[in-house]
Structure 1
Amino acid sequence: MKFNATPRSEQGSSASRRLRIAGRVPAIVYGADAQPLNIELDHNEVFHALRKEEFHASILDMQLEGKSSQVLLRAVQWHPYKQQVMHIDFQRVAAGKALHTKVPFHFMNQETSPAVKLSSATISHVFTEIEVNCLPANLPQFIEVDLGQLVAGQSIHLSEIKPPKGVTFSSHSGDDPVIVTALVGGGAANVMTQDEVADEADLPAAGAGEEEAK
């Protein structure tokens, strides 16, 4: 995604207040072994951009004085009660330097999973994003989590999710956190076993192949 920026010469709270009144947003760009750069943005343009997921989890193309720079969105400060962007932080991206940032999960096949179709389970997304390490060229916009085989009462842990090529998930203090779980109201009586799910879905039961082989 592209966005337009203009150099900002005046600094301080009074200057920032005047910018906001004029429909502009004060911002800063830092990193990549260069001096921080104060910039300003059009409020309407950046407000609508912030509503898009890819603006938060993609390498952005900043257009500044006819030159293009790659940056990542790092922080957004909002007004306490107005729909107004107060300040934005961006980080420069260097092609050969690894990034440490957050990427959202996309949960696939949730409505067609056995947990939902056969057990009317409630799917709880414990985590909606994950911290990753990768080079800029390998940064994914999202990480897919396939729920197509999820059974009521089951959970999916981080270790069960395969990261894209060139991407590693940041450690969680050695833990293997639950990413998503299928909850059923009324307790364990409503939880179906793998064999029961196979019967309902007209699929081979677990271990059927082993019996035929004997």
Structure 2
Amino acid sequence: MDEIVLTAATGRTIGTRPSRRLRTGGGIPAVVYGLEQDPVTVTVEWPDLRRAITTDAGLNAVIQLEIDGKRQLSIVKDIQRHPVRRDVLHVDFIRIDPDRAVVVDVPIVFVGEAEEVINNDGMVDQNMFALTIRSTPANIPTEIEIDISALTIGDSLRVADLVLPQGVTTEVDPEDAVAVAMITRSTLDAIAAEEEAAAAALAAELAEEGEEGVEGEEGAEASGDDGEADASDE
């Protein structure tokens, strides 16, 4: 993996207005902390930061943060974004030791096609999109794959079904659901509509048979009355 170097400048003024002016000029306010050292407020340039966090490793990229000519191994711990524009407002970097484990979130990615589910008008609902793992920096996976091709309606995949690389662990409950194969809501609605239509048709048929039975009884009674009248005339 190519080394990622990101230059961070110290000496920025802290505060809302200075930070806003900083972002207007293309800088991103940030802080670096961890490894029992004092936090340091810094500025990174947005184009450089974007290149650093858009590699295959994503936000878990191990970055050589260069501060005042000295390099410190780090990763992005948190990115604050504008709630509407999604612009980056602030970044937290955490110092890391290459020999000490860190805790990060790694994306979970589906592989394969759940053909049995698709053929039965179902879908695979992803309940968990990232897994919190513990690993040394060099062993942090870019993503965790899970095969969904063998799923059928009603099946589920759990954290226990995830295959983690060597040296990677998680404290997430192994019974937590990652994916569930289910019938889609539209299919359920269609089934309910069909059942409702069938019930209505059956009710109409029974009602029609009931009316025919009543008419038959009335006809029989009328014939009986006519017969009695004829007998009395004689």
Give the TM-score category using the shorter length.
0.7 to 0.9
Q: TM-score, normalised by structure 1?
A: 0.75
2:110 aligned residue (107, 111, 129): 107
1:53 CA drift (Å): 6.5
Q: What per-residue deviation string (whole Å, max 9, x for no partner) do you get for residues 71-115 of structure 1?
A: 111111112323421111010111222211111111111x35432
The one-letter code sitting in structure 1 at the alignment partner of 2:130 is E
Q: Secondary structure at the match of 1:46?
A: helix
1:166 CA drift (Å): 0.7
1:60 CA drift (Å): 2.4
| Correspondences of 1:35-50 after superposition (within 5 Å) | 35-47=38-50
Corresponding residue for residue 84 of structure 1? 87
Q: What per-residue deviation string (whole Å, max 9, x for no partner) do you get for residues 99-147 of structure 1?
A: 11111111111x354323x334211110000111122222111111111
2:62 aligned residue (59, 80, 91): 59
Q: Secondary structure at the match of 2:57?
A: helix
Structure number with larger C-alpha Rg: 2
**How many percent identity over aligned positions?**
24
Contiguous gaps of at least 5 residues in structure 2: 192-234
Corresponding residue for residue 178 of structure 2? 179
In 1, the alpha carbon distance for the partners of 2:69 and 2:181 equals 51
Contiguous gaps of at least 5 residues in structure 1: 191-214
Counterparts in 2 of 1:156 and 1:112: CA distance versus 1, 3 Å: closer
The one-letter code sitting in structure 2 at the alignment partner of 1:73 is V
Corresponding residue for residue 157 of structure 1? 158
Counterparts in 2 of 1:181 and 1:30: CA distance versus 1, 3 Å: same
| Residue pair 1:58, 1:140 contacting (<8 A) in 2 also | no
| Residue pair 1:113, 1:147 contacting (<8 A) in 2 also | no
Higher deviation after alignment, 138-147 or 14-23: 14-23
1:49 CA drift (Å): 5.2
In 2, the alpha carbon distance for the partners of 1:51 and 1:138 equals 18
Q: TM-score, normalised by structure 2?
A: 0.69
In 2, the alpha carbon distance for the partners of 1:103 and 1:168 equals 12
| Correspondences of 1:1-40 after superposition (within 5 Å) | 1-40=4-43
| Residue pair 1:107, 1:144 contacting (<8 A) in 2 also | yes
RMSD (CA atoms): 2.4
The one-letter code sitting in structure 2 at the alignment partner of 1:72 is I
Count of aligned residue pairs for this structure pair: 184
1:66 CA drift (Å): 4.1
In 2, the alpha carbon distance for the partners of 1:45 and 1:181 equals 40
Higher deviation after alignment, 23-32 or 163-172: 163-172
In 2, the alpha carbon distance for the partners of 1:35 and 1:134 equals 24
| Residue pair 1:62, 1:71 contacting (<8 A) in 2 also | yes
More helix by share: 2
In 1, the alpha carbon distance for the partners of 2:23 and 2:109 equals 35
Counterparts in 2 of 1:82 and 1:52: CA distance versus 1, 3 Å: farther
1:153 CA drift (Å): 2.0
Counterparts in 2 of 1:53 and 1:122: CA distance versus 1, 3 Å: farther
Counterparts in 2 of 1:39 and 1:158: CA distance versus 1, 3 Å: same
Q: What per-residue deviation string (whole Å, max 9, x for no partner) do you get for residues 1-54 of structure 1?
A: 443322234223332222122221100010012111111011244356556673
The one-letter code sitting in structure 2 at the alignment partner of 1:179 is V
Q: Secondary structure at the match of 1:137?
A: helix
